[in-house]
Amino acid sequence: MQTRIFRVHSDPGHAWVKVPKTFLARIIGEHWRSVFTPFSYERGEYVYLEEDEDASRFVHWCRTNSIEPVFKGASTGAATRYSRIRNYKPLSPL
């Protein structure tokens, strides 16, 4: 099984896994958006999968494709500051 590193962004209330959209299309297929909830976000070429349900689904799809995800953390750096990810566009099916 190969490993791949993904960045986790967090603030005092939540965390998100940053994943390239092209990677999701490769491991899930062209209808990858239907796998995730609108509690995740997107901006540009990336999706920010919420830590609860969507991140678990992501791990499942990685492992189904013989990829072990490794998560590296990053936070807002302040105990009271919310991440700008909260202002990104909610993930929606096309």
**Residue 67, pLDDT score:** 98
The token pair that represents 87 in the structure block: 């202002």
- In the chain, what are the domain boundaries? 2-90
pLDDT (tens digit, 9 = 90+) per residue, 32-78? 999 999 999 999 999 999 999 999 999 999 999 999 999 998 665 66
H or E element at residue 57: helix 53-64
Of 5-9, 73-77, 84-88, which range is least confident?
Answer: 73-77
Which of these, 94, 92, 79, lies nearest to 39 by C-alpha position? 92
- Residue located via tokens 């499942």: 60
Which of these, 46, 21, 40, 48, lies nearest to 32 by C-alpha position? 21
- Residue located via tokens 């302040």: 78
